[in-house]
Structure 1
Amino acid sequence: MKKNKILTFILCLGMMTGFSACESLDLAPEDYFGSGNFWKDQTQASGYMVGLNSYLRSSYSSLFVMGELRNGLLGDGDDGMGTSVMGESLDNQNIIKQDLTADKAGMSNWNGLYSIIVRINLGIQEIENTSVLTEAQKNLYLAQAYGMRAYYYYLLYATWGGVPLVTDVAIIKGQVSAEALKRPRAKASEIMALMKQDIDKSEKAYAAYGADGFSDKYTWSKYATLMLKANVYAWAANVTTDDQKATGEADLRTAKAALEEVIGSNKFALTSDFVKAFRTDAKTTSKESILAVPYNKVENVYMPYIANCVAQEALLTAAFDKDGKPITLDNEAYGKRTLVNGLLRYQYKETLWKAFDETDSRRDATFFVVCNNANKPKTGSNFGVLLKKFSGTYYASEGVHRFDCDGPIFRYAEALLLMAEIENDLGGDPTPYLNKVRERAYGNTTHNFSNGSKYQNTLNILSEVDKEFVFEGKRWFALQRMKDNAGKALVFNADVNYAFIPGDAKKPILSEAEAYKTLWPISISTHANDASIEQNPGYEQFK
């Protein structure tokens, strides 16, 4: 009976996201699960928290949109035409090429994240006031809720800067007019302060609870809060956003301490082989995931966007591999990782693939190369870099391909590479952390880096980020945190970009004249729903 109640709640909570919302914050006008309806016993309260954790999955596509599309790794077919090696048109080329405007903003209504935030706010209010939970339960649930709220605000802040600051729940109590839902944008410094406060409250609640709350990788835990803390404080240390100036060393040391706690916990480790961090059949044995979202056949929910990064079977049967040999669908590289149905809408750059060392195990675990003509030069439009990583499982008995890999939010490799980045920023030696990742990639120590100049270390660390986190949405944020010798963010540095077309001169992802584009534009529809929402500087202001 208890399981049935929780399942019923989750299903109903999920349905709420399907409401058509006209409000600028993308909220449902009425919340059935208010205090009078759903906080009557421990089962209902725990069910609500299960529901909040489930939103990590429903919002997972934000990592691809906010972190992957603009990071310089996705291509345009390598011939400038925006057409895949299979002939399909590639999606979101304006975002990939940094052509952003209010009417081509890529996202609207804050990508729906406020609909989750207000439900977290409701949870915080009810947990603090309920009498049906023990003090230990209250502390655990508050620790999770504050951590999750800080996570969503981090995505919003790193994308748009100052955003509406919503910590109340009045907007979902009973009937609320659209007018009452309108919220102006807060200062960037106010959002940063909220994130830091929420992280602090999460940590204190875990301390009061007396444990780390790590039951499994699919539930928010103390270590998720610590990984978020490291990201937020590293960002604060290095990135100026509007009135929030970069804070420097003090916040770097705070980020380092958070990562030291994660690494020192001995709960997490790199998998022996890179591919085992992602394969469906290694889910239960991997210790690399700190926080992930489950995609699986049982629940019939699968990882977003992956289907558009691999090619459908019918097209591959007429294609060739990088050596000009016909592709067969009965081998490990293709048959067990090949989509039966689907169109190729995203293709990674040939220049990225060629940046991998041939002995780096991540190259062939992450990508497979397809050519459409065995007799023409295998480059440009005749060279497609398709995704293999996260490509799930082909169930031969059913004739169906399922994208049932877990979706990582934080994994141990990030703890190591972010620690390397911070250690380097503080003037220390990053190689002990950096080389652990390389040793896993190469299977030995012969490719280890030596400690070099600060900038050379930075380039080495970013190179590992590039290869380690394809499709995980990490690079775009790293490019804004990491600096060159002149103290400028690497997003403005041609050294770290990959040319769209092989042989072309490298250009920075953004020119310094386009520095305003580090923040995304506010969409016309967001402003239309709430005229108090102002456009980010640099983009054409609303009329």
Structure 2
Amino acid sequence: MGTRIFLLSILLFFCSCQKFLRENPNGFLAADQYYKTPEQAKAAVNGTYEGLGKIFTVDLGVSVSAVFALEYITGYSNRPRPSGFEDDQFLRLDKIDPANSRLQAWWAAYYKAIENCNSVIENINNTKVLDTATSRQYLGQVYFLRAWYYFQLVRLFGDVPLKTTPTKDLDNIFIPKTPMAQVYDQVVKDLDMAAASNLPWTDQSGRVSLGAVKSLLAKVYITMAGYPLQKGKEYYIKAYEAAMEVVNSGKFELFDDYSELRDIAKQNTREHIFMLQRHPTEAASIIHFGYLPYPDQPISIQPAYGGAMAPEQSFYDSYAAADKRKAEQAFFYTRYPNYSNPNSIVQLPAPFIFKFWDALAEQTGRSGENFPLIRYADVLLICAEARAMADGGSTADAVAIGAYYQVRKRAMPGEQRPAILEVDQVLKERYWELCFEFQTWFDMLRTRKALDVPSGQIVPLLGYKAPRHIKAFTEADLKFPIPLAEIQKNPALKD
């Protein structure tokens, strides 16, 4: 789907109400019929955000959502609700069938979004209806989004088709795969363009900000430094420097309490650098319901709607007893008041994820809670890891240690600041801090390391058998196959 023709899809319109980007389908328009007014140009830019939410399937519920595959494959989660064979391929670490619809969902969501980005970039550059400052900021947002989509694709699938111009006819639509190094170079180029577009450091509306651009650049550089490109020290330093730009901006800070991560009044502020914008009626979130206990634990108005994901008991047990993230109703919970009788406490059969609990959705059955895509905690840990790797695996750099310690101290207030920081300390912290935010698999791919939860040690990924899996990881497990439907449509995608 991604390498065939797409007309410009105008699917999102910006609304200042509650500061989110609403999904509002409005049909399909050819580019030569659009960009005639500032309002049309703005709507076209808003449409490029659509791809962020496509993998968080809403209309058909959690049972077909592609996004959970990113956590299933790590081996640190389970699915309390019975699942189909397509999810089981990730949960068990079976060989993934190229016909698995989860693969097609990822591919189609991002390539459609890329096509829209390409169209907007070409037409915003040519339109005369925008002033220069507005045009630059619109382009900055779209360059960032195109980089985001390609960054997801190249990490998941490896070599993928690289296309930076819109499709206008049926000629040359069978595009072959591009070597991943070239895809990464284009991602960096797009982010450099976004960084030069005069975006503000923060944006409480949920639009792309300079903070998001620099944070993603740090993530891209630390990925390029590791596997599979293995560019090494030069790129660890680049990652450190990009992360430090975010730190030195003074625009971001960690929340004091973990409950603030799910405070709807604090979305798109402070620790939340970039979020998926949701709304309870126009762009609902599945996350609250996807993490509800199943079957039929009576703690919400829709008690049986969840069951998509829960932590493996051994992962939950890997947190230190004093870790505040393990405290009841921080990242997890083991009991909750009965929805119809709050004086009665329901004891859950195992730990479940509370990290993204939406208190309003508990009552209404619709969640409008935004979901974090980039958090400041992530950037601080990138800063620490990148410096430690650049220094040979450990560092005495005070800035890097301070970045790590901010995250660690929030979880373990009584722990002393280390004098020397080992990279494995940072990696452990990433597993515990960023759990179930769809980040861990990408960390495992770029570091080729895993958290052995029984011992609490960082171990090589290849040869490691995760708690939920039926076998140990091999090289063949580290890249999703190109969807069969895409190969059938485009033979140039064959290996």
Same topology, TM > 0.5: yes
Cross-structure match for 2:296:
315
Distance 2:432 2:23 in 1: 40
Count of equivalent residues: 443
Q: Deviations over 1:102-161 (max 9, x none)?
A: 234731161421111011111111111111111111211111111111110000000011
What does residue 186 of structure 1 align with? 178
Match of 2:455 in 1: none
Question: Partner of 2:88 in structure 1?
Answer: 93
Q: Deviations over 1:346-390 (max 9, x none)?
A: 23200011111222221231222379xxxxxxxxxx953322221
CA distance in 1, matches of 2:141, 2:22: 21
Mapped contact 2:175–2:492 kept (Cα < 8 A)? yes
- Corresponding residue of 1:200: 192
8 Å contact from structure 1 (residues 63, 473) kept in 2: no
Aligned to 1:153: 150
In the alignment, the residues of structure 2 paired with residue 524 and residue 133 of structure 1 have an alpha-carbon distance, to the nearest angstrom, of 42
Residue 120 of structure 1 pairs with residue 120 of structure 2: no
Cα distance, 1:282 vs structure 2: 4.1
SS at match of 1:463: helix
Deviation at 1:54, TM superposition (A): 4.5
Whole-Å separation in 1 of the counterparts to 2:108 and 2:39: 31
In the superposition, relative to structure 1, how do residues 509 and 464 fare at CA in structure 2: closer, same or farther (>3 Å)? farther
Q: Which residue of 2 aligns with 1:356?
A: 319
Distance in 1 (alpha carbons) for counterparts of 2:320 and 2:358: 25
**Percent sequence identity over matched residues?**
20
Gap change, CA 1:141 and 1:59, over 3 Å in 2: farther
Deviation at 1:280, TM superposition (A): 3.0
Corresponding residue number in structure 2 for 1:290: 273
After superposition, the Cα gap between the structure-2 partners of 1:524 and 1:395, relative to the gap in structure 1 and judged at 3 Å, is: closer
Contact 2:279 2:369 in 1 (8 A): yes
1:281, 1:127 → 2: CA distance? 33
Select the residue among 285, 289, 300 that pairs with 1:303: 285
Distance 1:436 1:508 in 2: 36
Residue correspondence of structure 1 range 396-411 to structure 2 within 5 A: 399-411=363-375
Residues of 1 paired with 2:48 and 2:206: CA distance?
Answer: 12
1:70-100 alpha-carbon deviations (Å, 9 max, x no partner)? 2221136xxxxxxx3xx74477121122212
**Change over 3 Å in CA distance of 1:424–1:89 after alignment to 2:** same
Amino acid at match of 1:261: E
Segment drifting more, 362-371 vs 190-199: 362-371
Q: What CA deviation, in whole Å up to 9, does each residue of 1:493-522 have, x standing for no partner?
A: 64xx75239xxxxx9851xxx213211112
| Residue matched to 1:269 | 253
SS across alignment from 2:202? coil
Alignment pair present for 1:253 and 2:248: no
Which amino acid in the other structure matches residue 98 of structure 2?
A
Mapped to 1, the partners of 2:187 and 2:266 lie a distance apart of 34
Q: Tell me the SS of whatever aligns to 2:223.
A: helix
Which secondary structure does the structure 2 equivalent of 1:532 belong to? helix
Instruction: Report what 1:25 is aligned to.
Output: none
Q: Kindly tell me: are residues 66 and 261 of structure 1, through their superposed partners in 2, closer, same or farther at Cα, counting changes over 3 Å?
A: farther
Q: 1:484 to 1:45 in 2, by over 3 A?
A: closer
> Following the alignment from structure 2 to structure 1, what is the Cα–Cα distance between the partners of residues 488 and 29?
27
Q: Distance in 2 between matches of 1:125 and 1:489?
A: 46
1:426 equivalent to 2:390? Answer yes
- Distance verdict in 2 for CA 1:235–1:6, change over 3 Å: closer
Task: For residues 386-411 of structure 1, give each alpha carbon's deviation from its aligned partner in whole angstroms, at most 9, with x where no partner exists.
Answer: 22221212467xx5333332111111
Q: What's the CA shift for 1:451? A: 4.7
Output the CA distance in 2 between the equivalents of 1:466 and 1:424: 17
Q: CA deviation at 1:265?
A: 0.9
**Which amino acid letter does the alignment assign opposite residue 46 of structure 1?**
K
**Structure 1 residue 447, shift from structure 2 partner:** 2.2
Corresponding position: 1:518 with 2:478: yes
Residue 234 of structure 1: how far off its partner (Å): 0.8
Q: CA deviation at 1:213?
A: 5.7
- Post-superposition CA distance 1:153-201 (Å, at most 9, x none): 00000001111111111x2x4xx44x75322111112212211211222
Distance 2:178 2:402 in 1: 40
Give 1:324's aligned residue. none
Q: Give the structure-1-normalised TM-score.
A: 0.74
Matched, 1:102 2:98: yes
SS of aligned partner of 1:133: coil
**2: CA distance, partners of 1:301 / 1:484:** 36
Does residue 1:71 correspond to 2:74, yes or no? yes
- The letter for the 1-side match of 2:415 is H
User: Aligned equivalents of 1:193 and 1:129: distance in 2?
Assistant: 25
- Tell me by how many angstroms 1:458 deviates: 2.9
Q: How many Å separate the matches in 2 of 1:234 and 1:425?
A: 10
Gaps of 5+ in 2: 1-11, 16-20, 58-64, 337-347, 451-457
Query: 1:232 is matched with which residue?
Result: 220
TM-score of the pair, normalised by structure 2: 0.80
Counterpart position of 1:439: 409
Cα displacement (A) at 1:237: 0.9
Separation in 2, partners of 1:212, 1:273: 27
Aligned to 2:461: 491
Per the alignment, residue 167 of structure 1 pairs with: 164
State the Cα deviation string for residues 232-261 of structure 1 (Å, max 9, x = none).
111111112xxxx32111111111111111
The alpha-carbon deviation at position 304 of structure 1 amounts to: 3.0
**Aligned AA (1:476):** W
Q: Does 1:342 align with 2:342?
A: no
Q: Which moved more, 1:88-97 or 1:228-237?
A: 88-97
CA contact (8 A) 1:289 1:412 kept: yes
Q: Judging by fraction of residues, say which structure has more strand.
A: 2
The CA distance in 1 between the partners of 2:307 and 2:23, in whole Å, is 34
- Separation of aligned partners in 1, 2:137 and 2:335: 49
Which residue pairs with 1:393 in the alignment? 359
In 2, distance between residues paired with 1:164 and 1:256? Answer: 29
Check 1:72–1:138 CA distance in 2 against 1; reply closer, same or farther (3 A cut): same
**Residues 28-61 of structure 1, C-alpha deviations (whole Å, 9 max, x = no match):** xxx5141x32211222212222232354334556
Q: Root-mean-square deviation (CA), in Å?
A: 3.2
Separation of aligned partners in 2, 1:164 and 1:310: 38
Partner residue of 1:464?
A: 429
**Distance of aligned partners of 1:212 and 1:5 in 2 relative to their CA distance in 1, 3 Å threshold:** closer
CA contact (8 A) 2:50 2:113 kept: no
In 2, Cα distance between the equivalents of 1:296 and 1:116? Answer: 20
Secondary structure of 1:72's aligned partner = coil
Distance (Å, rounded) in 1 between the aligned partners of 2:44 and 2:126: 15
* Alignment partner of 1:450 out of 418, 440, 447: 418
C-alpha displacement of 1:431? 2.9
Alpha-carbon distance between aligned partners in 1 of 2:51 and 2:205, rounded to the nearest angstrom: 14
Matching residue's letter, 2:247 = I
